[in-house]
Structure 1
Amino acid sequence: MSFLVTRKAPDFSATAVMPDNSMKPDFNLADYRGKYVVLFFYPLDFTFVCPSEILAFDKSLPEFKTKNCEIIGVSIDSQFSHWAWKNTPVVQGGIGNIQFPLVADLDKNISRQYGVLLEAGMALRGTFLIDRDGIVRHAVVNDLPLGRNIGEALRMVDALQFHEKHGDVCPANWEEGKEAMKPTATGVADYLSKHNG
């Protein structure tokens, strides 16, 4: 949630199911320092909205990787549930052999640290962009029925990297390579007149 933005991402060590289907008992967020990370939480394995998000992240994974960005999924399910879901075909309600880690947050400590744990015991759909130094730079949390936009997650990685490289701000609807609103009163007026008719 927003209180984490600009702060160090809470570190954790937990068991994760890796891209090759092995189970890594000492998976650490700290091991990803030097890379950008999109850390996302979802409610439960074997549900209906979650596979659409996970498959969309997996489809976009090559694009994230070209930006030196890794994807990590987290839910309160066990590593055995994650493994079973990965080994169930998509046509049967599974997610197939997705190529990013799924972390088991069985004790719910990770979800609690990131402020996404509901009283009912499952996590909201939280998405956190973490920079190469382990600082949370962007966070968005959706209620359970609302699937997230993977394209927006990619846009935020682009925006962060653009800012880091050029020192410029990224105004509303900024996209890499597209004309952006200039951050001045005149620039805002010109932008609105062109884009709002």
Structure 2
Amino acid sequence: MNLVTRSALDFTAPAIMADGEIIDNFCFSEQVKGKYAVLFFYPLDFTFVCPTELIALNNKISEFTHREVEVIGISVDSKFSHHHWRKMPITEGGIGEINYSLVSDIKKSISRDYGVLYDDAVALRATFIIDDKFVVRHQSINDLPLGRNIDEIVRIIDAIKHHEEHGEVCPANWKEGKAAMQASSEGICDYLTSHSEEL
């Protein structure tokens, strides 16, 4: 299911917040109002690839905060499972006290609505980047064995913001600080003349 260019799907669910507080009425649209958001679905707490992704995401949290991006993890586990996993040391298979919220999709309705529920059991490794107007600008889905690249999520956010601020489009392998181009025949010709070897 493609959600890119459409409004994100709102939900209210239990969650554990970045400060460790457990709440029952985490409202997605209220939490991210006026901000960008990364909605980061993962299969299950206490598994194998998942903690590496969540810890990697937390290690880059300052990159997201600097860009005014709210990060939200979500799986089909209970709020109590999330809480316990956060309390476990990394050396024992936990994730530590990560600095972003984890939502409980124990009813599997959010994963189903976003089209990422696998075999009616767990969420696939899905990432949705949502802009400050609550529009989905990017989505990607990995199969269960394949961990994500957090730097690529940051790069895509930078590309979206660059386009919004400057009106330029971002070519393949673009990174913040690199040349972008005008979306025109002249723009692509000018860009390729100077940068085709960098692609």
Pairs within 5 Å for 1:1-197: 1=1, 3-31=2-30, 32-180=32-180, 183-185=187-189, 187-188=191-192, 190-192=194-196, 194-195=197-198
How far the C-alpha of 1:26 sits from its partner, in A, is 0.5
Which AA in structure 2 matches 1:94? G
State the alpha-carbon separation in 2 of the partners of residues 162 and 42 from structure 1: 28
Structure 1 residue runs without a partner (length 5+): none
State the alpha-carbon separation in 2 of the partners of residues 62 and 195 from structure 1: 29
How far the C-alpha of 1:121 sits from its partner, in A, is 0.8
Alpha-carbon displacement from aligned partner over 1:146-179 (angstroms, at most 9, x marks no partner) = 0000000000111111111111111111111123
State the alpha-carbon separation in 2 of the partners of residues 120 and 45 from structure 1: 17
How far the C-alpha of 1:120 sits from its partner, in A, is 4.5
How far the C-alpha of 1:30 sits from its partner, in A, is 0.8
Counting matched residue pairs gives: 194
How far the C-alpha of 1:119 sits from its partner, in A, is 1.2
Which AA in structure 2 matches 1:8? S
Percent identity between matched residues is 51
Aligned residues: CA RMSD: 1.4
State the alpha-carbon separation in 1 of the partners of residues 33 and 170 from structure 2: 24
Q: TM-score, normalised by structure 1?
A: 0.94
After TM superposition, what 4+ stretches of structure 1 lie above 3 angstroms from structure 2? 179-183
